[in-house]
Amino acid sequence: MIASGFPKMQRFYFDVYDSDGPETDTEGQLLETPERARREALRILHDIAHDEMPDVNLVTITVKIRTDGDRQIFEVSLTLTSDWSR
């Protein structure tokens, strides 16, 4: 039972697609709102880009958010390129 005045937490799943291939989130995270889930997806995207960029010249990373019913509700992608000037 949820106490009056407290928002119900919802489980969001963050699937990641990057140079290592797809990684399906099987645990998810309990968050207050879809907007909070969107901010978490952006944080995940940033962290992965930070870790992968030094090793490659081109990387595309996508984070997709799903709800408990496996319905995709949000997607964010980032493509990073780097190359030496000639």
At residue 3, does pLDDT exceed 70?
Answer: no
Beta strands in 4-85 (DSSP E): 10-18, 21-23, 29-31, 58-67, 72-81
Tokens of 77: 């992608």
Measure the CA–CA gap between 31 and 35, rounded to whole angstroms: 9
Residues near 60 by beta carbon (within 8 Å), at least 6 away in sequence = 18, 19, 77, 78, 79, 80
Query: Of 21 and 73, which is predicted with more confidence?
Result: 73
Q: Domain ranges in the chain?
A: 10-81
| pTM of structure | 0.83
Residues 30-58: tens digit of each pLDDT? 999 999 999 999 999 999 888 877 677 88
Predicted local distance difference test score (pLDDT) of residue 13: 98
**Contact present, 79 and 39 (Cβ < 8 Å):** no
At residue 18, does pLDDT exceed 90?
Answer: no
